[in-house]
Each structure stands twice: as C-alpha cells, then as structure tokens.
Amino acid sequence: MIVVVGRSTDVIFGQWRKYALQIGSVMGALGLIACALMLILAREMRKRGEMEDKMARLAMTDGLTGLANRRHFDVVIEKEWQRAQRISAPISLLMIDADHFKAFNDTFGHQAGDLVLCNIALSIARYAKRASDCAARYGGEEFALILPGLSLAEAIELGERIRSEVDHLECDGMSTTTISIGAACLIPSSLTTSSDLISSADTALYAAKAHGRNQIWPVAPQQDALAA
C-alpha cells in the first residue's frame, strides 16, 4: 500500500504570500516616495517660475515709484509704434517733468523728494487705464506716458487732468511741486521712427518749461503736419 500525502495550499502559498507582501510593501513605499518627489519637484518648479516672473517684473519696474522703468518704456514704445504703423493709427506721448525739483530736494531733503515723485507717479498711473497704456519713469524726476490710439487733442486733455491733480497735491499739509508736460502725437510711417515721437514730446516739454512751467505744451506748429 502506498500512501501519498499532499501539502496543504496554506503551506504551498504561505511563503509566496510572504514574499509577495514584502515586494508589494516595497513597491508601495517606492510609489509613495516617487509621488512625494514629484509633488516636491512640481512645487519647486512653480516657485522657480514665480521667482523668475518676479525677477522679470523687477527688471522692468522702477524701484521707487512702481512704474515701468526706462528699459520697459523702450520696449513698449517700439512695440506700440510697430503696431500703430501696421494699422495706420496715431500714437501719443506725454513727457512729464517735475518743476523746480532740485530746489525742492535741496530744501526739504531727499526723503520728501522721493515722496513727491511717488505721488506724481500715482497720479500718472491713475490715468493709464488701458492695457496698451504705459506709464514709466523716464529718468530722475521725468516721467513718460505712452497713449496708443489717442489723438493729440485727447492726449492734451488727459495730460491736463494729470497736471491739475498734481497741482493740488500736498505733503504734510504743504504744497509740493508742479509738473510741466510736453505732448506729441504721430501716425507712424516709413519716414518716421519712435525716436521722432520722443524727440517731439521732449521738445514740447522744454517749451512748456520755457513758457512758465505748470502747463502742458503740444508739439511745435511746424510739426502739425506730422501730428494726428
């Protein structure tokens, strides 16, 4: 008589289940670690992207006033000039300068002068409402406001509102300073460049100062043929 004794399924699969559980635990742990690493990597990439965006904004922003800086101004005016040339639309520019600012600085100090510049910047920025408008600190106490699509008359009207608002600004209960504004408007063509618009507005600004300050002055009469 031959007796055959078979092993139970628990005995057969017991060791396999043990190894399977160990391998499954290891794979699960590796999966969790991989997910955690992916989340950390995604977070770090998001932080890096935000930091790069912040650095890009800082590179294009004036540190004192929060307006666009000269570099950003140069980029925007060239872009808007090319766009205006494609559609034969006018582009206006206001060049704005604080009157007697050096004397104010010497009298009341640089901290008070910085506050005045910030207040002027806020007044200018308040009227740069459209996405295409660009308010910039051009340098020192000089500002610029790019106004694509606006005629010379519309730019003068807007500039006068800015001038009037700044004229009523006060700092610690005392009047601060006024501004002079040069206004220019051109319809871009193959014979003109954005430098011509800047030069016209700058010339008008000097004329505003020469004629008594605290006023807005348009381009000279001989430039009317080019102005919109």
Q: Of 185, 145, 149, 174, nearest to 162 (Cα)?
A: 145
Give me the DSSP letters along 189-218.
Answer: -TT--HHHHHHHHHHHHHHHHHTTSSSEE-
Distance CA 159, CA 184 (A): 11
The radius of gyration of the chain from alpha carbons, rounded to an integer in Å, stands at: 33
**Residue 157 known to be catalytic:** no
**Cβ pair 96, 149 in contact under 8 A:** no
Q: Of 181, 176, 184, 183, nearest to 209 (Cα)?
A: 181
H-type helices in 99-183, by residue range?
101-108, 110-126, 152-167
Distance CA 217, CA 206 (A): 9
User: For 144, which DSSP code?
Assistant: E
Distance CA 3, CA 76 (A): 97
Per DSSP, the three-state class of 143 is strand
Among 50, 78, 80, 141, the active-site one is: 141
Residues annotated as part of the active site: 141
